Amino acid sequence: MIRLNKARLKATMKAYLFLAPFLVVFIGLIVYPIGLGVRLSLYGQRGARMWYVGLDNYKRILSDSMFWESFRIPLFLLLIQVPLMLLLATIIALFYETRKNGGPLYRFIYYLPYTIPGIVSGIVWSYIFSDSMSPLLPFLELFGRTGVKFLTRSNVPGILLIIILWQFTGYTAFLVYSALIAIPKEYSEAAQLDGAGLWQIALRIKLPLLKGPLFTLFIFNAIGAMQVFNEPWMLGNLVVLPLNYTPAMYIYNSAFSQGRFTYAAAMGIILAVITCGFSWYILRSAGRQILERRH
């Protein structure tokens, strides 16, 4: 028994030697900053002067309509863009299956936008919709519609939808397709023998088996939607958008244009709590899966 413990102690020492570099950067650059963020959020601030105020910042945020209004865009993305994208991606993945080898060329082309940073897609798409450069305007003029303005503030959510769908649909379709081909062929073959049509196989057999992956994708995209920043930030160069257009923009602007760091830190904590709520499910299953092999 004692010897066993000795071995375990030795293994523990060795393990922490290998873990040391990671633990140093992890604690220094993730754990400590989060702790610092929590501490800052409890302070009032004017210029360089700071003083403890307890939960005052949080109380003020609860009644700060600017903060809650900033969730309009994330909610729009969560309720419209994400479901639309998952639907499109599933249809595309089913279409891939009708091609030889899953249509590698289509998969490649559809995936490409995902490799492009949000800032560059923001630049290119905002130019494509701009009054001065839009290649779409000559087409509208063909149909006698002159003086159309795409880039107005009320159109920005629609344009965001087009940009974000462009960026992530191909990637998502790729993931759904990977889940599809993991489904044993026998399932659909058996159904076919029973006389099931293509639609029936897709709806009754494949879709139910995609539930898990689709749900995980929904969660990840929900997290992304809560944090959207780059695309509206770039569009903001061509259309005037309010400081609080998205939560992340409001946090950034509060800290760096208005200098309200502690207030911004508190908003950051609230946003983090909201996103962590979404990821709770994934956290649970991820931890379980990966360590099981060793026990």
Partner 1 sequence: MRLNKRFYVVITIVLVLLAAYFIFPFYWLAIGTTKNVSQLFQKSLLPGRPSHLRSNMSGVFSYQNGVFLSWMLNSFLYATVGAFVGVFIAALAGYAFRRYDFIGKRLLFVLIIAFAMVPGFATTLPLFMMFRDLSLIDTRLAVLLPSFVNIFGVYMMVSYWNQIEEEVFDAASIDGANDLIAFWKIGLPNVIPGFITLFLMAFVSIWNNFFLPLVVVNSRARMPLILGITTITDPQGFPVYNLTLTASFFTILPLLILFVSLQRYFKPQIYMR
Of residues 194-223, those binding partner 1 (CB under 8 A):
198, 213, 216-217, 220, 223
Minimum CB distance to partner 1, residue 73 (Å): 15
CA 110 to CA 85: how far, in whole Å? 13
Q: Which of residues 166-195 bind partner 1 (CB under 8 A)?
A: 166, 170-171, 174-175, 178, 188
Question: Is residue 151 involved in binding partner 1 (CB under 8 A)?
Answer: no
Minimum CB distance to partner 1, residue 20 (Å): 8
Annotate 184-201 with b (16+ C-beta within 10 A) or e (fewer).
Answer: eeeebeebeeeebeeeeb
Tell which one of 61, 77, 86, 92 touches partner 1 (CB under 8 A): 92
Q: Which of residues 117-146 bind partner 1 (CB under 8 A)?
A: 117-121, 123-125, 127-128, 132-135, 137-138
Minimum CB distance to partner 1, residue 76 (Å): 19
CA distances from 268 to 37, 111, 119, 274 (A): 8, 32, 22, 10
CB contact at 8 A, 175 and 217? yes
Minimum CB distance to partner 1, residue 229 (Å): 6
Nearer to partner 1, 56 or 270 (CB): 270
Minimum CB distance to partner 1, residue 221 (Å): 11
CA 80 to CA 74: how far, in whole Å? 10
CB contact at 8 A, 53 and 184? no
Q: Which of residues 269-288 bind partner 1 (CB under 8 A)?
A: 269, 271-272, 275-276, 279, 282-283, 286-287
**Size of site (CB under 8 A) for partner 1:** 98
CB contact at 8 A, 117 and 158? no
Minimum CB distance to partner 1, residue 18 (Å): 4
Question: Is residue 113 involved in binding partner 1 (CB under 8 A)?
Answer: yes
Contacts of 274 (CB under 8 A, 6+ apart): 226
Tell me which long-range contacts 144-151 makes (C-beta under 8 A, separation of at least 24): 151/126, 151/235, 151/238, 151/239
Q: Which of residues 23-52 bind partner 1 (CB under 8 A)?
A: 23, 25-26, 29-34, 36-37, 40
